[in-house]
Chains A and B, each alone.
Chain A
Amino acid sequence: MMDLLNAFVALSNFVLIPAIAYGSQLALGALGVTLIYGILRFSNFAHGDTMAFGTMATILITWAFQAVGISAGPLPTALLALPFGIAVCAGLILATDRGVYRFYRGQKAKPIIFVMVSLGVMFIMNGLVRFIIGPDDQRFSDGERFIISVRQFKALTGLDEGLAFKTTQGITVVTAIIVVIALFYFLNRTRTGKSMRAYSDNEDLALLSGINPERVVMVTWLIVAALATIAGVLYGLDKSFKPFVYFQLLLPIFASAIVGGLGSPLGAIAGGFTIAFSEVMITYAWKKVANYALPEALAPDGLAQLLSTDYKFAVSFVILLIVLLFRPTGLFAGKSV
């Protein structure tokens, strides 16, 4: 019995909690990608770098706050800076839309042209981020490090196996829940949200019923800026901020959005968690859990790790390929043409 509890604690500590936190971050990122896909109808390759830009803005403001002595007590200061980071990111994104994307909307360019343009935007954002903050690792997490640390947990429960619950993980989950509820409330209950969904379902019909397309697009970009910045800051708090890593996040985020069904917000969340859990479970060394849970004779000799952690991108990629092969519309039947 004790062994099973220990096994479960080890499982939570190394698999469940990290995967839930990572899944929330991916889900927020995938929501942004899927919203752009639904409304503007292209895959935005600049999304990873939008996240990086928003996070960078937040980091700079966090540093400013720390310098003048503003802090959020036990919580990271970055949470206070977050709204300002979102504002800066939204400003840049709206300017990009004005200066770049709007021209191609007017031309009714093919989606692939939009994708290509988003590549150019990605270059520029990436360059901006490197130019301003540099390509190196930045840590900006402060405040209390743990909600429950390993030692506290052991003292509390008397188990052999410890469980650490980082503040950043807690914040990630709570923020993600709040953001998702707010987003779904907005999309399903408010007038603007409904007009967005109408526009996504059938552009011509929406235009006929007097929905202003430019307004819908603007609101979409604002929401995307918020989602991208929040996802980026949460990821940065949980791990660390490095521009290149954010570019690489593009693959799991796209995989999440496609697995869930491009254009479907609910699918993006489901996809995010699917990808995160698969990644963590396939790259985790199960030896410890197996030692507790299985009888002595069955305990594995090796690490019982299916793939080394360096291949975590391969996991999302293989899932992506399987979905493309067998169910190109994704779990929640998004658009597929």
Chain B
Amino acid sequence: MSDTARNTLYFGFVALLIIGTGFVQSWNAALFVLNFGLISAIMALGVNLQWGFAGLFNVGIMGFVALGGLATVLVSMPPVGEAWAAGGLRVITALVLGAATIVGAILAYNALPKGRVRTLGLLAILIVGFFVYRAVFDGGVQAVEAVNPANAGYLGGLGLPVLVAWPVGGLLAAGAAWIIGKTALGLRSDYLAIATLGIAEIIIAVLKNEDWLARGVKNVVGLPRPAPYEIDLQNDPAFVARVSDWGLDPVTASTLWVKLIYAGLFAVVLIILFVLAQRALHSPWGRMMRAIRDNEVASEAMGKDVKARHLQIFVLGSAICGIAGAMMTTLDGQLTPGTYQPLRFTFLVWVMVIVGGSGNNLGAVLGGFLIWWLWVMVEPIGLGLMQLITAGMADGFWLREHLLDSAAHMRLLTMGLVLLLVLRFSPRGLIPER
């Protein structure tokens, strides 16, 4: 069977799964799977860029996704004027001071002669800078958070169209990735993994605790949408008349229509990114990347700057994850820092890339759809399985109750098992690299 035929078969199968969901459950559920599948596919593309092209192991995807979500709030929410008046400038000044301290420390490190003078000078700059920063920052934050804490208490955003947030999310993630890459790349491969694991936890901690930024665990709800609201559609006589012609209930039709608009937007982004990634893979740059991945020493001897190339592709891949994160928050319509779980946002994406086929963009996209479908469906399937297993047991028997209650945790087991099985028996994935 040729590659094209096999790939068509795979994607046809995934399409069948989603359409099947539509028939068995509901079309809303099917479109939900499709939308998140599109986002997952984009995340998988980003991770594939890092792992498949360059062999970089990033376990901080969750952090970059969350930064994308933050960008949505910062770009699209209307600014809270009172908060800006109360302490906005002070907070911004403090942040600039903090950044200046770090830049100053780096400059001093390069300027001062090696030895005790440098150590003491650095410490002095950092300590003084920190206290000045806190002195300015704390007052500003208090003032901002005191402004109408029940539904504001933060600076708000820029009030721009929400679609602008998608590239901005990519930029934010790229910035964070640059800092991490600068420190951890060029050391042994595990260090990047540990550093990214850490930055992800810290980004989530910042999102949860800095209320002035995005309201922390109080969540920002009601983000502007690129699609019309369902209720407006239902009140729009033209829309109601049109769907009635097709014999659809206006309420269902409006939810489906909104989801379809999202799916269209996401598909456009996915196609653009896919084409770009595909061009990158087959360009001299992509070949160089794979050469570096396969033999760093040899490529270095050929005059390739391994560390700079690694940094470049790490930043690019993380930016894609940031874009996907912004899209996801847009789809949710709210930013809820409490829901970012590493197992869901980092490791699930890894399973997608490995299963789909690392080093192959098409594989990553396939993995994104397939594993997302599995992730959604494991729970009902697991529950069904448990009911089957426990069918013979008496009602109220403790083991039966326990098994039924625990069916929700089947997801992790299944994903771990899928990952291990694929790594063991088919390490190149469903659509292997050519």
Chain A contacts to B: CB under 8 angstroms: 42-43, 45, 100, 103, 111-113, 115-117, 119-128, 130-132, 134-135, 247-248, 250-251, 254-255, 258, 302, 306, 308, 310-311, 313-314, 316-317, 320-321, 324-325, 328, 336-337
Asked if residues B406 and A120 are in contact (CB atoms below 8 Å), the reply is: no
Asked if residues B419 and A120 are in contact (CB atoms below 8 Å), the reply is: yes
Q: How far is the CB of A247 from chain B (nearest CB, A)?
A: 7
Q: Which residues in B have their C-beta under 8 angstroms from that of A317? A: 195, 198-199, 201-202
Beyond contacts A130-B409, A134-B405, A310-B209: 7 other A-B pairs, Cβ-Cβ < 8 A, are A111-B188, A115-B190, A134-B406, A254-B194, A258-B194, A311-B209, A321-B195
Q: How far is the CB of B131 from chain A (nearest CB, A)?
A: 9
Q: Which residues in A have their C-beta under 8 angstroms from that of B268? A: none
In the assembled complex, the Cα of A126 lies from the Cα of B38 at a distance in Å of 27
Q: How far is the CB of B410 from chain A (nearest CB, A)?
A: 7
Of the listed stretches B21-29, B324-332, B342-350, name the one at the interface; the rest are far from the partner chain. B342-350
Asked if residues B195 and A124 are in contact (CB atoms below 8 Å), the reply is: no
Asked if residues A112 and B57 are in contact (CB atoms below 8 Å), the reply is: yes
Asked if residues A123 and B347 are in contact (CB atoms below 8 Å), the reply is: yes
Q: Which residues in A have their C-beta under 8 angstroms from that of B191? A: 258, 324, 328
Asked if residues B406 and A130 are in contact (CB atoms below 8 Å), the reply is: yes
Asked if residues A251 and B420 are in contact (CB atoms below 8 Å), the reply is: no
Asked if residues B409 and A311 are in contact (CB atoms below 8 Å), the reply is: no
In the complex, the chain B residue whose C-beta lies closest to that of A321 is B183
Secondary structure at the B interface, as helix, strand, loop or mixed, is helix
Asked if residues A112 and B55 are in contact (CB atoms below 8 Å), the reply is: yes
Asked if residues B420 and A120 are in contact (CB atoms below 8 Å), the reply is: yes
In the complex, the chain A residue whose C-beta lies closest to that of B427 is A113
B354 at the interface (CB under 8 A from A): yes
Tell me how many residues of B have a C-beta within 8 Å of chain A: 44
In the complex, the chain A residue whose C-beta lies closest to that of B412 is A127
In the assembled complex, the Cα of A112 lies from the Cα of B51 at a distance in Å of 11
Asked if residues B202 and A325 are in contact (CB atoms below 8 Å), the reply is: no
Could you give, for residues 403-434 of chain B, a 1 whenever the CB lies within 8 Å of some chain A CB and a 0 otherwise? 00110011111111101100110010000000
In the assembled complex, the Cα of A131 lies from the Cα of B412 at a distance in Å of 9
Asked if residues B57 and A310 are in contact (CB atoms below 8 Å), the reply is: no
Asked if residues B190 and A112 are in contact (CB atoms below 8 Å), the reply is: yes
Q: Which residues in A have their C-beta under 8 angstroms from that of B410? A: 127, 131
Asked if residues B209 and A313 are in contact (CB atoms below 8 Å), the reply is: no
Asked if residues A131 and B413 are in contact (CB atoms below 8 Å), the reply is: yes
In the complex, the chain A residue whose C-beta lies closest to that of B197 is A251
Asked if residues B419 and A119 are in contact (CB atoms below 8 Å), the reply is: yes
B205 at the interface (CB under 8 A from A): yes
Q: Which residues in A have their C-beta under 8 angstroms from that of B416? A: 120-127
Could you give, for residues 68-99 of chain B, a 1 whenever the CB lies within 8 Å of some chain A CB and a 0 otherwise? 00000000000000000000000000000000
Asked if residues B190 and A111 are in contact (CB atoms below 8 Å), the reply is: yes
Asked if residues A123 and B198 are in contact (CB atoms below 8 Å), the reply is: no
B400 at the interface (CB under 8 A from A): no
In the assembled complex, the Cα of A283 lies from the Cα of B205 at a distance in Å of 14
Q: Which residues in A have their C-beta under 8 angstroms from that of B342? A: 247
Given A115-B190, A310-B208, answer yes or no on A250-B197 (Cβ-Cβ < 8 Å). Answer: yes
Q: Can you sample 21 A-B contacts with CB below 8 Å?
A: A111-B188, A111-B190, A112-B55, A113-B423, A115-B189, A115-B193, A120-B420, A121-B416, A123-B412, A126-B412, A127-B414, A127-B416, A131-B409, A131-B413, A132-B406, A248-B201, A251-B198, A258-B194, A314-B205, A317-B201, A324-B184
In the assembled complex, the Cα of A111 lies from the Cα of B188 at a distance in Å of 10
Closest 10 pairs between A and B when the two form their complex, measured CB to CB: A123-B416, A127-B412, A127-B413, A124-B416, A317-B198, A120-B419, A130-B409, A120-B420, A43-B190, A310-B209
B302 at the interface (CB under 8 A from A): no
In the assembled complex, the Cα of A308 lies from the Cα of B216 at a distance in Å of 14
In the complex, the chain B residue whose C-beta lies closest to that of A125 is B416
Q: Which residues in B have their C-beta under 8 angstroms from that of A122? A: 347, 416
B187 at the interface (CB under 8 A from A): yes
Asked if residues A126 and B190 are in contact (CB atoms below 8 Å), the reply is: no
Q: How far is the CB of B285 from chain A (nearest CB, A)?
A: 22
